[in-house]
Amino acid sequence: MLTAMDVQAGSHGEPNTRGPESDSPAVLLEGVTKVFRSRDREVRVLDGVNVEVRRGASVGILGHSGAGKSTLLSIIAGIERPTAGVVQTGGVDLLRARPSQLPKFRFQHVGFVFQQYHLIPTLNALENVMMPCVPWKVDYDPRQRATELLGLVRLADRADHLPSQLSGGEQQRVCIARALINRPTLLLADEPTGNLDEESEQEVMGLIRDLADQFGMTLLFVTHSRELAGSFQRVVRLKSGVVVEEP
């Protein structure tokens, strides 16, 4: 069965893109700015963001639509490149990494849960959970691990169901299991309860928080709900791309 040591050990086989195992923070952002330019317009989505997150912390990232929350997560994961600033995730300087190294880095370090489920409609729940392992050589059995993860998210009896046969809350729980298949050290949740009813919202939020704690992962949970954000150890609030409040 899965234990916290499975995640912390991070024994993945290839690829080997590990950052230094030290007291470095899980996430370090210094002066991070992101500007999108069109022909005659400039949109400054992030403007000099400074954030440091210690390893194992759970952080709610709060802000209204357009505040820059999703862009911030994409930069932390190495999906987007900032216009300026310093970005270190898991002790790795992402701006010094070659673009070809970033997919390996994400597989080693990052799990992502999105608001939209992004499940493949022709694959069942078990197959969807296994999908991130397809490009990589791993030293564990993806099917066995996916089966155990579906048990952890209370979907063992839905493993052979297609996404269309699952409720919204069940689909999001499949997404949580999928995000954990690669044994990440950092879990990024981008408004994962935005499409759910209140009951499912509380269930999914609690499940993400509990699993992050159980496996010793660092958790960044994006939301526009002050109530949800306030349930985490720390809150970072974004407004128009600027950190305006950091209790």
Terminal Cα-to-Cα distance of the chain (whole angstroms) = 38
Tell me the C-alpha to C-alpha distance, in Å, between residue 8 and each of 26, 53, 175.
13, 17, 21
For the record, the structure tokens of 53 come out as: 């997150």
Closest CA to 95 of 84, 106, 109: 84
Which residue reads 């440091």 in tokens?
52
User: E strands along the chain, which residues?
Assistant: 27-37, 42-53, 58-62, 84-89, 92-93, 110-113, 186-190, 218-223, 234-239, 242-245
Write down the pLDDT at residue 138. 86
Whether the link from the prior residue into 15 is cis, omega within 30° of 0, is: yes
Write down the pLDDT at residue 247. 53
Domain ranges of the chain: 55-67+98-245
- As averages over each run of 10 residues, the pLDDT of the chain (247 residues) reads 42 42 84 90 92 95 89 94 95 91 91 92 97 87 95 96 95 95 94 86 89 94 88 91 75
Write down the pLDDT at residue 6. 44
Write down the pLDDT at residue 4. 40
Closest CA to 136 of 180, 182, 90, 92: 182
Query: Looking at the DSSP assignment, which residues form a beta bridge with residue 187?
Result: 111, 219
For the record, the structure tokens of 186 come out as: 């950092």
In this structure, are residues 59 and 233 in contact, taking their beta carbons and an 8 Å threshold?
yes
- What fold is seen in the domain 55-67+98-245? Rossmann fold (3.40.50)
Closest CA to 220 of 89, 35, 83: 89
Write down the pLDDT at residue 181. 94
